[in-house]
Structure 1
Amino acid sequence: MKPKYGIIGCGNISRFHFNGLRKTGAEIVHISDINEQAATPYVKEFNSRFSKDYRQLIADPEVTVVSVLTSSKYHYDICMEAIKAGKDVICEKTMANNAKEAEEIAKASLASGKLFFVSYMKRFFPAVRKAKELLPRLGKIFSAQVRAYQNWGTDFYNLGNADAFEYVLNSYGGAVIKCAGSHMIDMTMNFLGRPKSLYANVDYVPGSKFDRKATALFEYDSGLVASFETATHKLSRIGYERNSWDEFIQINGVNGRIEIYTVLWDHPENNGALLVYYDNESETSTEYRFEAINPFDIEMAYFNECLEHRENGNPNVIDGFNVDMIIESMVESSNKKAPVEIDWKGI
Structure 2
Amino acid sequence: MLNLYETSSSSDEENDLLANIFQNRRKEKRIRERVNHMEYWDEEEFFIRFRLTKDSVRQLLDIIVETLETATNRNAAITPITQLLLALRYYATGSMLIVVGDFCGVHKSTASRMVKKVSEAIASLRNRFINFPQDPHEIDRICTKFYEIARFPRVIGTIDCTHIKIQSPGGDQAENFRNRKGYYSFNVQTICDGNLCIRDIVARWPGSSHDQTIFNASSIKAKFDRGDMQNKVLLGDSGYGLSRYLITPLPNPILPQEILFQEALLRTRYVVERSYGVWKRRFPILSLGIKLDYTRVQAVIVACAVLHNIAVLNGENEPPLDRAIRDNFLQGIQEANIPNGLGNEINENGANYKKETECISNIVQV
> Normalising to structure 2: TM-score of the pair?
0.27
User: Would you tell me which structure has more strand in proportion to its own residues?
Assistant: 1
When Rg is computed on C-alpha atoms for both structures, the one with the higher figure is 2
Report the TM-score when normalising by structure 1: 0.28
- More helix per residue: 2
